Amino acid sequence: MKIELRRAVPDDQAFLWQMLYYAAHMDEGGEAPESARANPALAPYVEGFGRADDVGVIAIDAINHERVGAAWIRRMPPGWPLYEVIEAATPELAIAVTPAYIGRGAGGLMIARLLDTAAADHRAIMLSVRANNPAKVLYERHGFSVVAEITNRVGGKSLIMKIELDGVR
C-alpha cells in the first residue's frame, strides 16, 4: 500500500473533525462521530483551521484516493490546560488514522512530514497521549519525550510529550 501526503487546507475541517473523533478515542466510548464537534473542550483543535501558523498534512491511499489520516498542529488559546506543564503558545499535535489503516505506516509518514514542515516556524511541539496508547512508541521513535503525566478528560492517565525542533529558521 502506498500513502501519499498533501498539505491540510481550511476545506479539510470536516475531515479534521472526523480524525479528532478518533484521536480523542470517542469511538471507543460508543459516542457518535459528530460528538467531537459538539464538545467545547475539543473546539480549539479544529475551529477556524487555516490560520497562518496552522500546519497539517492529510494522508491519502494512493490506490483509491481515500483520505485515511490527518496530523496537524496549532497554537491553543491562552489558558489552555496543557500550558500549565508546557511553555505557553507551544503548538499541540493532533493525529489520527482511520481504523482500517492503523499500523500501515500513515502515522509515521505524517509525523515526519509535519515535523519537517513545522521546524521552520516552531521551536517545539507537544502532544497528549493516553498512557496505555501504543502510539506512544511511534511518538518516541520520532523524538518526542514524556515531560508530564496528567488526568485526562475521561479520568484516565495521559502523558504530555514534547519535541524540541531546530527552532525558527
pLDDT in tens, 77-106: 998 888 988 999 899 999 999 999 999 999
pLDDT at 107: 96
Provide the mean pLDDT of the chain.
Answer: 92
Question: Residue 167 has what pLDDT?
Answer: 57
Q: Is the distance from CB of 133 to CB of 139 less than 8 angstroms?
A: no
Q: Does position 54 have pLDDT exceeding 60, yes or no?
A: yes
Q: Give the torsion through C-alpha atoms of 11, 12, 18, 23, to 10 deg.
A: -140
The reported pLDDT for the residue numbered 152 is 79
What is the rounded average pLDDT of the residues 21-29?
88
Provide the b/e sequence for 103-119 (b: ≥16 CB within 10 Å).
ebebbebbbebbbeebb
Residue 140 has a CB neighbour count (10 Å cut-off) of 13
pLDDT at 45 over 50: yes
pLDDT reported for residue 82: 87
31 vs 161 pLDDT, higher one: 161
CA atoms of 57 and 78, how far apart (whole Å): 25
157 within some domain: no
Write the pLDDT tens digit of every residue in 1-14.
799 999 999 999 99
What is the CATH number for 12? 3.40.630.30
pLDDT at 30 over 90: no
Share of the chain above pLDDT 70, in %: 98
Residue 136 lies in a domain: no
User: Which has more pLDDT, 17 or 34?
Assistant: 17
The answer as to whether 145 is a domain residue is: no
Domain assignment present for residue 149? The answer is no
d(CA 148, CA 151): 10
For residue 35, being part of any structural domain is answered with yes
Query: What does the pLDDT read at residue 43?
Result: 94
95: domain range?
3-120
Helix (H, G, I), strand (E, B) or coil at 166: coil
Asked if residue 67 belongs to a domain, the reply is yes
| Amino acid letter for position 5 | L
Query: At residue 169, does pLDDT exceed 50?
Result: no
Distance between CA atoms of 158 and 160, rounded to whole angstroms?
7
Segment 144-164 shows an average pLDDT of 90
In a domain, 161, yes or no: no
Q: What is the mean pLDDT of residues 140-164?
A: 91
Closest residue by Cα to residue 164 from 148, 143, 150: 143
- Evaluate whether residue 115 is within a structural domain: yes
Q: How far is the C-alpha of 79 from the C-alpha of 2, rounded, in Å?
A: 40
Please state the domain count of the chain.
Answer: 1
